[in-house]
Structure 1
Amino acid sequence: MNTKNILVAPLNWGLGHATRCVPLIRELIKYGYTPILASDGNALNLLKKEFPELTALELPSYEIEYAKKAKNFKWKLLKNSPKTINAITEERKLVKKWCKEFDLAGIISDNRLGVYNKKTPSVIITHQLQVLSGKTTWISSKIHQRFIKKFNECWVPDFEKKPNLTGKLGHLKNPSFSIKYLGPLSRLNIQKAEKKYDLMIILSGPEPQRTLLENLLLQKINLLDKKILFVKGIVNDKQVITEIEDITLYNFMTSTEIEKAFNESDVILCRSGYTTIMDLVKLNKKAFLIPTPGQTEQEYLARRLKKNGHFPYSKQEDFEVEMLHEIDLYKPFLTSEKELNWKQLFVLFERE
């Protein structure tokens, strides 16, 4: 029996990076590996709740903050970049130490740029081979690709050929590094379930934008005469459930609860974060998207999916509940999914 230790380290930027690592961690366990979890903040809390039996280690925070106004988003990221660079340097030192301490057979980083080691097979999971940042896209993409090259392999959670989900984000004309396409990664599965909610709202993403959208939606959804489930996406120690008339509010849900809720809901209202989109596709769900203001990638994904006839979307400041009627005019993205050969993927960690 194989008991090789594999470090799995998602970025703490919203919950998406952590949740899409859940199916990967399950597969590692299934194939006899021992995953060791590493992250910070909400992402680490979520993984600890999903896998309480696994070792969990703390990595330094990238201190990613969002601006209140979309136009200040890039400036805020730039202002915080020294802290991010320090965190990347720190995590490299920690990973070097952990390679010896835990005798790591492999490293899987989801968008954490310093989580690799030259002597240990290292993988980066990212759907951003190009980092969209407006006029500075070419430079932000170049910098990101330089980091990707430091890893042995790059795993992209999307389809390689068209139709795909990420478009130019996750596909390069002439890549200079090894790319493997995994197909969409989701921790959720379709279940047979009675319809319980007309609308499920699920929020995630860094502050203050998460709270701004929560407050906006709470003001507006009172106008709907519908049964609504509202998941705020705040991972606390204790789950809190509140009922206000026809609205049921949760601070967070576990994977099992989210899966059940998705299957029991008619339509979904959510951010156009890539992990959420993969969940919608896997569950064949109809949805309305509201991109995080200033996050070029989410805006691009929402525009592209609308243009291709899959999901309607609105800017946060323009959103009105009547827009939800548009959902019926769109057809969910249907996939002809091939089963992913995980064993073949994990061959990298079998090298002596």
Structure 2
Amino acid sequence: MARVLVSPLNWGLGHATRDIPVIKTLHDHGHEVTIAACGNALSVLRQEFPDAQYIDYPDYSVAFSFGRFFVPRFCASLPFMLKAVAREHATLETILSKDQYDLVISDNRLGVFSPRVPSIFISHQLHYHLPLLYWPAELLAIPANMFLHERYNRIIVPDNLPGELSLAGKLSLPQTDVARDRVFFSGILSGTHQIACAKDLDYLVIISGPEPQRTILEKIILAKIGELEGSGVALLGSPQGPKAIVRSGNWTCIPYVSTEIKTELMNRAQCIICRSGYTTLMELAELGKNQALLIPTPGQTEQEYLSWYYRQKNWYYSVNQKHLDLADDVAKTRDFPGFPAMARTAENTKRLYNELLAEYLE
């Protein structure tokens, strides 16, 4: 039995939820997993794996601003963030000095690596997409990524190989020889799965992502869901918030549900309204959903790019939250067919373990 430390970033719930199938695969092969996380990511994984070992491991916050000022505010926060990454790395070395691990898996936590223990980085974003105004920063990110990737033995990219089935488009393209030497395209990794059930729910709204934009979208959506005919559930994506379930007409608003219940709701829903966060998009692919409305987080350039990319591919319709006309936009989703068929998580995690993880654990 090997010991593995898994540490997801706490920016939204996506990093934690896409690690769920990886952790399950490690457990299935008899390995002991310690989860090092904080905030909502820690809360989510505690609910999914109540018997696992946990370390409350702070990461770093970033100022997600309103509108288009995300990039300059993010750049201004970089000195503070780099200090936080250095503290994060020092904390990891303290953890490793107290307990022995055979493998460290970091999901987008920049300081979670060690020269003493094989370290693996999970990210679908090997290339950063920024507005044209900031193209010098996009170019500078290439050597910065190379410096980061050199710290890890391998890089797991939860995407299909570059080409027609790539879910992340240019974001997952390796830009340096370092990345190309280390990259492993695992295919989609999702905590959801298909189940046999009636499609008796007209709409499922999934409100997720970092604050304050999560709350902003919640207010916008809850003010407009009355425009939709039929039944619906709104998941507010707030595991640490109030627990009360609110019912109004044919709609039910729930602060947070387990992955199991969320999977059931996603399977039942005919149309899904959600952010264009990459983990949510992998869930749509896993479930084969052909009707969805994507609402990118304002200023979050990755989500904005993916929304544009999917419209160009004629996969899904998307709309800016400022211009959201819920009833009209939902009607437009019917003209888009969804993702083409692709390998699902069960097949992908089996290949991931046999072709990569087993090398370090057996």
Amino acid at match of 1:90: R
Q: Pick from 298, 304, 310 the counterpart of residue 299 of structure 1.
A: 304
Select which of 9, 12, 16 maps to 2:10: 12
Q: Hey, what does 2:97 align to over in structure 1?
A: 100
Question: 1: CA distance between counterparts of 2:331 and 2:64?
Answer: 30
Q: Report the alpha carbon displacement of residue 237 of structure 1 after superposing the two structures with TM.
A: 7.1
Shift of the alpha carbon at 1:79?
3.1
- Deviation, 1:64, is 1.8
Query: Structure 2: which 5+ runs fail to align?
Result: none
**SS across alignment from 2:19:** helix
Which structure carries more relative contact order (alpha carbon 8 Å, separation 6+)? Answer: 2
In structure 2, the partner of 1:40 is 38
The residue aligned with 1:153 is: 154
Matches within 5 A, 1:21-36: 21-36=19-34
Following superposition of structure 1 onto structure 2, how do residues 243-254 of structure 1 map, counting pairs within 5 Å? 243-254=247-258
The residue matched to 1:278 in structure 2 has which SS? helix
Q: Who is 2:168 aligned against?
A: 166
* Residue ranges of structure 1 left out of the alignment (5+ in a row): none
Is residue 2:343 matched to residue 1:328? Answer: no
Q: Which whole-Å CA distance do the structure 2 matches of 1:216 and 1:350 have between them?
A: 47
- Give SS of 1:116's match: coil
1:218 equivalent in structure 2: 222
Cα distance between partner residues in 2 of 1:72 and 1:144: 23
Kept in 2, the 8 Å contact 1:8–1:37? The answer is yes
1:315 counterpart letter in structure 2: N
Q: Given the superposition, is the C-alpha separation of residues 272 and 232 from structure 1 closer, same or farther in structure 2, using an over 3 Å criterion?
A: same
**What TM-score comes out, normalization by structure 1 length?**
0.95
Corresponding position of 1:124: 121
- RMSD across aligned positions (CA): 1.5
Aligned AA (1:215):
K
The count of aligned residue pairs is 348
Structure 1 outlier segments of 4+, above 6 Å: none
Aligned pairs (5 A) from 1:131-150: 131-134=128-131, 135=135, 136-150=137-151
Question: How far apart in 2 are the matches of 1:46 and 1:307?
Answer: 34
Alignment of 1:219-234 (within 5 A): 219-234=223-238
Distance 1:332 1:157 in 2: 19
Determine which of 205, 208, 213 is the counterpart of 1:209. 213
State the TM-score, normalized to the length of structure 2: 0.92
- Residue type of the partner of 1:172? P
Q: How much does 1:224 deviate?
A: 1.5
Matched with 2:360 is 349
Q: Which of residues 62, 65, 86 in structure 2 aligns to 1:64? A: 62
Q: Which has the higher helix share?
A: 2
Q: Is the 8 A contact 2:7 2:112 kept in 1?
A: yes
The residue that corresponds to 2:70 in the other structure is 73
2:127–2:175 contact (8 Å) kept in structure 1: no
CA distance in 1, matches of 2:177, 2:220: 42
Cα offset for 1:112?
0.2
- Identity of matched residues, %: 31
Deviation at 1:74, TM superposition (A): 1.4
Letter of the aligned partner of 1:111 in structure 2?
N
2: distance between equivalents of 1:303 and 1:175? 28
